């Protein structure tokens, strides 16, 4: 793992195109033509990461299972054939287990047992990293009090305290004590912010959240994730009181980075920007 000085030195060598390229994430190539395009992007330093999925099933169908040989070919190109040799980051929606399937997050939170939850996510990280996955888009820590919302099962429920304990346990489980360890996986707290308050339980819908509810109910789980060392955060689809979170200087720069002290990077949800 590179230290901050090495990272600064590397960035100083990068062209603007390469810097933008590192922000680009691609899904699995659907045909030979797209694959050739991706390979060329890797050679030109125009791809920073790949998500191991190409559909809404997030890689859980036979068509999009992890194929280490396929993804290793892209990694070889990025490391050996690009100008700066920056490796690709491989991400996947590893939500409640990889090969071994554990209870859904809502059920896990119902155990009121953070130690058990942490051990489940530790086991998940060991399995997923063994197949070359570096980054999980989990834990989902959206507080939700409307059972009509279709994604309510992916989060820890309606209680801010339980959500915060769940967030800490999941992050610690995924990332372990040392992020540079082979069996440690980068966690991603999502969906920042207020996604579970979608109006009428309709997914992707607008949200109307008071300052009191935002700071005392919605934010505690994200604060706990940040304090646990969570390396990445995913911005949400929704707007809050008319302001799209994915394009909000206040919610991302002021609240997340400055107030909560988050030092990692923010990734948008699928095409949210």
> CB of 51 within 8 A of CB of 27?
yes
Helix (H) or strand (E) holding 6: helix 4-13
Catalytic pick among 93, 142, 239, 269: 269
User: How far is residue 47 CA from its own chain's centroid?
Assistant: 17
- The 10 Å Cβ neighbour count of residue 61 is 11
Alpha-carbon distance values, 6 to 12, 13, 75, 80 (Å):
10, 11, 21, 19
DSSP, residue by residue, 116-184: HHHHHHHHHHHHHHTTT--EE---B------TTSTTGGGS--S-HHHHHHHHHHHHHHHH-S-TTSTT-
Q: Is 269 a catalytic residue?
A: yes
Catalytic residue list: 269
């Amino acid at each position: 793992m590179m230290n901050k000085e090495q990272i600064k030195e590397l960035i100083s060598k990068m062209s603007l195109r390469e810097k933008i390229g590192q922000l680009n994430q691609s899904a699995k190539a659907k045909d030979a033509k797209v694959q050739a395009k991706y390979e060329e992007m890797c050679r030109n330093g125009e791809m920073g990461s790949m998500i191991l999925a190409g559909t809404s099933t997030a890689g859980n169908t036979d068509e999009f299972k992890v194929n280490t040989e396929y993804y290793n070919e892209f990694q070889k190109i990025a490391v050996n054939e690009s100008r700066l040799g920056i490796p690709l980051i491989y991400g996947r929606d590893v939500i409640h287990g990889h090969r071994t399937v554990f209870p859904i997050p809502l059920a896990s939170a119902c155990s009121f047992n953070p130690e058990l939850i942490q051990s489940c996510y530790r086991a998940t990280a060991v399995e997923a990293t063994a197949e070359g996955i570096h980054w999980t888009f989990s834990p989902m820590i959206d507080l939700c009090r409307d059972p009509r919302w279709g994604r309510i099962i992916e989060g820890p429920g309606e209680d801010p305290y339980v959500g915060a304990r769940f967030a800490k346990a999941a992050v610690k489980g995924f990332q372990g004590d040392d992020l540079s360890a082979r069996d440690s996986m980068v966690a991603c707290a999502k969906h920042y912010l207020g996604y579970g308050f979608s109006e009428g339980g309709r997914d992707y819908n607008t949200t109307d959240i008071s300052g009191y509810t935002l700071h005392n109910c919605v934010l505690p789980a994200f604060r706990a994730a940040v304090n646990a060392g969570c390396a990445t955060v995913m911005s949400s689809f929704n707007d809050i009181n008319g302001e799209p979170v994915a394009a909000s200087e206040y919610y991302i720069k002021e609240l997340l980075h400055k107030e909560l002290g988050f030092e990692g990077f923010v990734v948008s949800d699928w095409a949210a920007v």
